[in-house]
Every structure is written in C-alpha cells, then in structure tokens.
Amino acid sequence: MCDLPGLTVSRFLLVLSRSRGAMRFIRNVEDDNGDLVELIYYCSWLCFSTESDAAVASLTGGAWPCLDSELTLPAVCRGCGRPVGASDSIEVELELHSSAHGASTDLAERYFGSGFRERGRMARTPKVPVTPSLLSWARELSGYSLTDIAKRVGVKDATRVAAWEAGDDQPTLAQVRKLAASYGRTPAFFFLKTPPPSDLPKEPDFRGLTVRGSLSPKLRREMRLAAERRASYIELHGADDFRLAELGVSLDQPETAARVVRDALGVSIREQFEARDNSWAYSLWLSAIENSGVLVFQMSRVPLAETRGFSIFEPESPVIVLNGADVPQAKSFTLFHELGHLLESSGGICGWTDDAAERRCNAFAADALMPGAEFLHELGDRDPIEAISDLASRFRVSREAAAVRLKVLGRLEQQDLDRIRQETADWVAENRQRASDREGGPPHHLIHLRNLGQRYVEAVLDAYQDDRITFADAAFYLDAKVPTIQRMEQALQDRNAS
C-alpha cells in the first residue's frame, strides 16, 4: 500500500468496473442500515497554496489497477508548474451513490477519512486534463455541433468547446460531467488515451434519411443504448436464437411469409379479435415476437416525425426499438414492419420513403395484421369508407392502416385514402395536444420498464437474484435507483400473475 499525505488508502479498496466502454473505480460498501452504497473516486493533484488548475492523478504503468498499486505524485503541479513538495495536499473528490436517500458526510468520512469535504464547500473549481480527441470523437458521433454543446454545458460560445477539443484549454470536472451526460458516457470515459471504435450500430440502410449525418443526437443515442443493452443482455443471459429466421420466408411473397410467421408466433385471428383493446393486442404481438428471440425496446424523446422505430439485425438476439410516443395499434404495425427487416437479415430506421425494402416490409406487416381473406370477410358487403373504423377496431390497427389495406385490395380509391390520411393526421395532432395539456402521465417506473423491455429487465433481476451480479451492478444495467427497481419488479410480478 502506498502512504500519501492526507490519504489513508488502507481504508478502502477500489475495484475495476466497466461502464459503457469506459473504466471507473468503484467500491461497494454498506451503510448503517445495510443499504448498498457505491463510491466513485475522482483523484486530482492540487497545490495547497495556489488557485491553479488540478490534474487527474496519473497511475503507474498506464493501466487501471486496484489501489493496491501505488499512485505516483507528479514532480510539478500540472496547473502552475511549481515543484510539488511533501507539504502539498492531495484532494480526492468523492461521489456517493446510495440506495438510501441522503447518504451522509459521516458515511463518506468513515470510508474516506476525516479530510473529506463536501464538494459544495470546495473553494476551487479545478480543471481536469481530459483527452481532447475523445471530446471531439464523442461529440461528432453523437451528432452535436460545437454550438449545441456550448449551450448544453453552459459556456458562452462554441470557441470554448473548440479549445477543449484542440487541447488548448481544459473543462472543469462539473463541465466534464455535463459533457458526459450529453454524450451518454461516463466522466471516466474522457480519460482514455485514444478513442475506441464507433459504438453506433452500423446499418446497411438508413431508410427515410438522406445521409447518415441527418440522424438526430437523440436518435443516435437511442441506437447506442439499444446496442449496449443487447450486449448487456447477452452477458447476463446469453444470446437467443432468432428462431423466425429458420423459417426461410421471403418477403417477395409477403402474404405467404406473413401466414407462416403468424403460425410460428402462435397468435390466432380469433385471439386478435378477442383482444379487449389495442394495448392488449399489441402486448400479444410483443410477447410472441420477444419469445421468438427478438429483444424489443422503446425510446422516449425522439419525435415520431423522425422515426416510428428502427431495428438492428444480428443472427442472435436481434433488436427492434419502437417509439414510445406512438399509439399501441401503430406500434403493432411498426413491430411487424421492423420484423420484416430482420427476416431479410437487415436493419433500418423506419421512415416514409418508398423504396423496395420499405414496400416489402409494409406489405408484410399489413398481411400479418390484416390477412386478406379474413379482412375481406369482415368487410362483407358494407361500404368500405363507412366500414373503416369498424375494421380498424376489429383488427386492432389504425384507421390509416385499415384504409391502406382496402386500397391495396382494390376496395378504396386513392382520393378517399388521401382524405382519410389527412383526417387521421388531424385527429392524431388534436389528441396529442390534449395529452400534452393534461398533467401527469404514466408513473416513471412503468415508462422505464416499457423502454427497457420485460425480457431485458427480467434478465438483470434474475442475474441479481442468482448472486451473479451485485445490486449496484443491477442498478447500473437498469439505469435506475432502488425505488424504481423495486416498483418495476412488482409491476412484472403483477403482470405475470394476471
């Protein structure tokens, strides 16, 4: 053990943990109530007598060891250049992430020592020597401009951010945290020596978008999160075979492909008709597709105008991500549309282009949800326009989807379809405005559970209950605090019991 002034390292042990591609040191301990506490240490060297900038401690060997290894005091202060003497202090900033509310300074001092000071009382705002190339790499991959980041971090203009990325200046630790939050990284990520390979899923076709650069930062982040969650799921549970791929269907014959896939999913037309509402029908399809080896997530804060969903093809545990802002009947259609992409061994972003792949996937989704024979049987001799709402309710699809199906089957004119589409768009806009005017909404834990997906959440909770991961690990995988995790677990139990 090393013996440094002002720091008693024998009181704690830092263990290595991966955090979304970056490294951090953590120590899991318990407070007086037995609640788990996660300690994250940020070490910086700071001259005692100067207002100079601080530098994060360099570790011997350039590795990320436990603190059994020695920390090396630099010869000069990296802020002012003054030689570092034996009387100079080492300031260590400590974050507490606790399952109990209000983790106290006393608890920090027990594991850290009496020299601990709350960050709010620190006199200095030291800068930290992040790797400049990582700042520019993360910003460009996230799709932000320099001006965007300047606003998010709270600096006056983009030249300050440009200086950080050029290595001419350094951000403070508080600013690093804001950068990390904007890019979906951890603060420790920016201390890596070189940028890692891109972790944005590489899709063969960004459908509905003119160029890759037109992806919004929010959508890029959701794509990264989906890929990360898939990797975490496989780490905890193992990869699932995509069993529907074994059917060998071709979307060049969408009606046949849809019939074969429906049979494999095991949801009959009668069950579809008997679903008590659109949400129930969507849940039937969601459960059946998840059970076929597909991970289904949802996303928030991405406008429907940008995309209703996207898919990431992998031979095992492929991914579909739906836009949580959509209504259940529209989600059902997007679910099958993206499933069509996966059956073609491709991924994509659902848009409104009219290319061949999108047409095949739309035809497949329509045939799966509204089989032609059954759809025409339900129509009977009725006037198609007057029957649209009833057909949409019967098959648990949107009015627009029912109208398009009638047009494809030769029972509706294009001008009538155009009018119905406009009516539907007006109705959706009006209802969204009403929803935005209403206060409240679904509880946070249900939104979080929806976005993570039942299959993923259960994989994490199973790993924790089997003692394969700690509760801190579970909180990290679920990106949630203790009360949210407990409520999600109870919601799953209630759902499985119903």
- For the structural domain made of 132-191, what CATH number should be given? 1.10.260.40
**In the structure encoding, which two tokens stand for residue 427, read together?**
């109705």
Q: Are 317 and 242 in contact (CB under 8 A)?
A: yes
Q: What is the pLDDT of residues 121-157, one digit of tens each?
A: 333 456 778 889 999 999 988 889 999 999 999 998 8
CB 371 within 8 A of CB 269: yes
Q: What is the mean pLDDT of residues 299-308?
A: 89
pLDDT digits (tens, 9 = 90+) for 239-260: 999 999 999 999 999 999 999 9
pLDDT of residue 319: 95
Residue 189 DSSP symbol? G
Distance CA 179, CA 32 (A): 34
Residue 348 is predicted with a pLDDT of 62
Q: What ranges do the domains of the chain cover?
A: 9-121, 132-191, 370-438, 444-497
3-state secondary structure 287-330: HHHHCCCCEEEEECCCCCCCCCEEEECCCECCEEEEECCCCHHH
Structure tokens at 280: 């129930």
pLDDT band at 449 (very low <50, low <70, confident <90, very high): very high
b/e per residue 129-143 (b: at least 16 CB within 10 A):
bbbbbbbbbbbebbb
Average pLDDT over every residue of 75-102:
42
Measured distance CA(302)–CA(26) in Å, rounded: 33
What is the tens place of the pLDDT at every residue in 310-361? 999 999 999 999 999 999 999 999 999 999 999 998 766 665 455 788 899 9
Sheet holding 295-299, edge to edge: 295-299, 319-323, 309-312, 348-349
What lies within 8 Å, CB to CB, of 364 at 6+ separation is 251, 254, 257, 258, 336, 337, 339, 340, 343
> 376: which 2 tokens?
């025409």
Q: State the Cα–Cα distance between residues 308 and 289, nearest whole angstrom.
A: 18
pLDDT at 403 over 80: yes
First to last CA, the chain: 56
- Listed in sequence order, the residues at least 6 apart from 15 whose beta carbon sits closer than 8 Å to its beta carbon are 25, 26, 27, 66
* Verdict on whether the full-model pTM lies above 0.85: no
Residue 273 has pLDDT above 50, yes or no: yes
Over pLDDT 70: what percentage of the chain?
68
Asked if 174 and 125 touch (Cβ cutoff 8 Å), the reply is yes
Of 338-342, 433-437, 457-461, 480-484, the least confident:
433-437
pLDDT tens string 207-222? 334 334 478 899 988 9
